[in-house]
Structure 1
């Protein structure tokens, strides 16, 4: 990063905010949830997909008090900056009221010395950095320990407020421009459809017919009738058993998939191939240059492409249709456009079936109807369609360039703000360094309204090795879990949980000898039948011992940054 402005400091965000993870109650119990706005506000990353506002009040559903109590979700105060830590990393929003989240967030509860709007914009500015710090194979995730280490540029408080106000003003104008730009793709789509509608109705070629003195005559064909009178001119890809993944090669004869028809791009780096033997075997499913290719599976099916004249013969895969047209009846390009028209696509929709995957079958596809003018008019229509579409393509290109400039502009403005260049500095502002000690002192006093209470999960423990599972949130000191009335302070053996569950403890000692383990793994080994509160109380009992009754049995071994959890072990005999 660039040099810090005078009076600023850079520190880890964990020094400025309490970093709070979330949780989800048992999803199968409907009593854990409530309608949005009725229960306790609860947020998931999915709630922020496409969300444009800076503040938020609730997600698509709330938690009930039961759901909050039974999960590790924590109720955070108004002004908390919520930051998604997975799927994806980097959504940012400010809580407009008390709220909790699922485990897809690492949220930041700042003190009054950090302006929430300032922090909101700062986190947006380092989204790429945060994402690069994520780990994971299925999807990247930012752990609590890593989230705490994110760098944070802290300006003097008054300057924070000035920066936040200026960013609100400038980025509101950028957002307005983006909103207007985002309307262009839909406008272009309607424009293209209107041109196709005019072409299929004859309106597009009306002036040509009048000038040429040609009367419009339509011929009704089915898809089967416009196919060339040759073997394999109309067909689908092979069944799965005839073309398997094991048949794919890194070179040879290309395969065509639905995704390539949809994108109208063929022969890229992801292309799969088959060898000569398989290519010969699948002769009935070959696509030749110039063939029309249609998707028979999708949401919805019916995407159309022309297989490029410069491409080698290929084999279409199972969810594709190929059509080589009879050019004595129809113009190939006009047919290509006709198949995209509302008239034809509405017919495709009528024969589409399926829930998980929408598909059409070849028999029904062959019976779909096309109303085609004469070949001369088809050719004239193609010229006019392509002329109008070229204008749309120019606008589309300008739109993409403008969108890219606006996207870069937002990041440029944010970068300028956090270099201290967006607003004038005031030398009378108290330097940020003086805030840090105040913030650290105040963080100690922040208490959330609920504690993390993860639901039990089964795990497997061996004598030699115990896998580490998360029990304590990294944002909570270990001592904070000693909030249970153990009812043992009087030294009354009769009421002691330790005495009551001594059989389970004895059973665990042999299994856990020389092992490091979590509380949840302790439950698994002992087959503990008590409720969750009793289990936690028992563990605290074993950690601290019972006055005048017993010595501690367990001790904390270490803190594991990777899992974000405390690891326990049996205390060595004294």
Structure 2
């Protein structure tokens, strides 16, 4: 590989820097002279090992010494079905006594010659990954990289003091990025809880409490108003009036009625037709085919044409994150895993959708926890707190604004999260072009360091080579 290097840097192959390399322990358990933690692929988390749930295997004392990892060793993932994982280099940064299985290659460097973390970070770059992936050997769905192919990886080598400075700077920047990513990852659950609180407030009537108390022309205009409304409590008694059918614990605002869902919707379940996946493959077309959790395929014909609401009939309801109701429009097909309903005349269908999206149907289910069922009878008998039409319209409008803002925020979070990987690669690219930290003319040039390494390697053969290459 030819590239322009900063002053004092030199191009080296990984093989020139390796002091020794060893494939991992091939034993699969049993009684041995000693028991030792043996790291597996399952213990890898990103670019580190998680030592909280390791397993121990019996082995001989000799094998215990041969396969023991020392702090500062590099561990390469030798074989896996995923191209993204094979060739990944992990810096072993623990004092815990561990061995490693034969899915790995242990690589030892000399701290006095090269910074192991510098090498491990370089192996995360796109240029290093391209070389490694080009040398994979594939068999039975598994991809393998060998010691010899790893050794051919070209590495831009700066002076040793600069390697230390680069590593320190990379780690500082990546730590900031990790904190930002953690903050972003925490936002979607918060947004989801906020959505649920909005829907619950709308269902109880809290969302339009102030609106009802003034006049029907007053509108809630922004999210800050919504937040204030959600936190307020009504003080007008239990609000039940003559609604004797209101479930225990529910409170109906003044002017609202508790009615069964059947009184405000038309149900079209009788028109549903399930089509097996194999049959759909023969009938593939341009019309969406819907099931319990949304669209599950395409088909060449349609049953329904218009605006409807689909409600999950049989799926995982316990611990569910997805809404149980969603809107569909246009020409489409529905199988028998989703109920299909439409609001009757005089009912705002958007308000109805929001009412059903997070409805707690658990008390109305039949069947087992793993595959519970919301029967048509149970669905149509669900009690609904029905506001006057003007309030339905206002609730729908407010939720459309608030939930739309949540959706936009979530899209922004996704976009920023996807940029995290790009940012990491940008940091690494700058680091290995010599742009992350300044060069120091007082540092011993890397060419002198490499010449010394080559001279030492020429004086004595490499020790601890693997008994068998991948």
Q: Deviations over 1:433-471 (max 9, x none)?
A: 325415746994543xxxxxxxxxxxxxxxxxxxxxxxx
Asked whether 1:272 is paired with 2:268, we answer no
Deviation at 1:203, TM superposition (A): 0.7
**What's the counterpart of residue 173 of structure 1?**
176
Matches of 1:160 and 1:84, distance apart in 2: 24
Deviation at 1:60, TM superposition (A): 1.5
Matches of 2:75 and 2:393, distance apart in 1: 58
Q: Is the 8 A contact 1:44 1:59 kept in 2?
A: no
Q: CA separation of 1:192/1:231 partners in 2, compared to 1, >3 Å: closer, same or farther?
A: closer
- Secondary structure in 1 matching 2:373: coil
Matches of 2:139 and 2:338, distance apart in 1: 36
**What's the counterpart of residue 431 of structure 1?**
446
**What's the counterpart of residue 399 of structure 1?**
413
Question: Which of 1 and 2 has higher RCO (CA within 8 Å, sep 6+)?
Answer: 2
How many residues were matched structurally? 414
**What's the counterpart of residue 160 of structure 1?**
163
Task: Give the alignment of 1:21-32 within 5 angstroms.
Answer: 21-23=23-25, 25-26=27-28
Matches of 2:436 and 2:206, distance apart in 1: 55
Asked whether 1:297 is paired with 2:336, we answer no
Deviation at 1:371, TM superposition (A): 2.3
Select which of 368, 378, 396 maps to 1:382: 396
Q: CA RMSD in A?
A: 3.9
Select which of 141, 148, 152 maps to 1:149: 152
Q: CA separation of 1:253/1:107 partners in 2, compared to 1, >3 Å: closer, same or farther?
A: same
TM-score by structure 1 length? 0.61
Q: Is the 8 A contact 2:288 2:298 kept in 1?
A: yes
Deviation at 1:136, TM superposition (A): 4.2
Q: Deviations over 1:6-43 (max 9, x none)?
A: 3333344233234444356447x6x79x9xxxx63333
Deviation at 1:158, TM superposition (A): 1.8
Matches of 2:289 and 2:65, distance apart in 1: 48
Identify unmatched segments of 5+ residues in structure 1: 280-285, 448-474, 479-563, 566-574
**What's the counterpart of residue 415 of structure 1?**
429
Matches of 2:421 and 2:70, distance apart in 1: 32
Q: Is the 8 A contact 1:84 1:105 kept in 2?
A: yes
Matches of 1:477 and 1:421, distance apart in 2: 40
Matches of 1:124 and 1:423, distance apart in 2: 19
Q: Is the 8 A contact 1:334 1:382 kept in 2?
A: yes
- Secondary structure in 1 matching 2:310: strand
Task: Give the alignment of 1:442-461 within 5 angstroms.
Answer: 444=461, 446-447=463-464
**What's the counterpart of residue 14 of structure 1?**
15
Q: CA separation of 1:351/1:115 partners in 2, compared to 1, >3 Å: closer, same or farther?
A: farther
Task: Give the alignment of 1:85-484 within 5 angstroms.
Answer: 85=78, 86=80, 87=82, 88-89=84-85, 92-95=89-92, 96-97=94-95, 98-112=97-111, 113-126=113-126, 128-129=129-130, 130-131=132-133, 133-134=135-136, 136=138, 141-144=143-146, 145-212=148-215, 215-222=254-261, 227-228=265-266, 232=270, 238=274, 243-249=276-282, 251-252=284-285, 254-256=287-289, 261=294, 271-274=297-300, 286-295=303-312, 296-298=314-316, 303-304=323-324, 306-309=326-329, 311-314=330-333, 316-317=334-335, 320-328=337-345, 330-341=347-358, 343-344=359-360, 346-347=362-363, 351=366, 353=368, 358-360=371-373, 362=375, 366=379, 369-376=382-389, 377-428=391-442, 429-432=444-447, 433-437=450-454, 440=457, 444=461, 446-447=463-464, 476-477=466-467
Bigger strand share:
2
Matches of 2:388 and 2:408, distance apart in 1: 29
Matches of 1:378 and 1:293, distance apart in 2: 19
Q: Is the 8 A contact 1:42 1:100 kept in 2?
A: yes
Matches of 2:461 and 2:90, distance apart in 1: 24
Q: CA separation of 1:133/1:60 partners in 2, compared to 1, >3 Å: closer, same or farther?
A: farther
Q: Deviations over 1:186-238 (max 9, x none)?
A: 2211211111111111111111221248824232425x6654155626x5x62
**What's the counterpart of residue 223 of structure 2?**
none
Asked whether 1:58 is paired with 2:12, we answer no
Based on CA coordinates, which of the two structures has the bigger radius of gyration?
1
Q: Is the 8 A contact 1:298 1:359 kept in 2?
A: yes
Identify unmatched segments of 5+ residues in structure 2: 217-252
Q: Deviations over 1:467-504 (max 9, x none)?
A: xxxxxxxx5246xxxxxxxxxxxxxxxxxxxxxxxxxx
Q: Is the 8 A contact 1:41 1:57 kept in 2?
A: no
Q: Deviations over 1:54-87 (max 9, x none)?
A: 7647251232334998999932222112343534
Q: Is the 8 A contact 1:76 1:100 kept in 2?
A: yes
Q: Is the 8 A contact 2:75 2:90 kept in 1?
A: yes
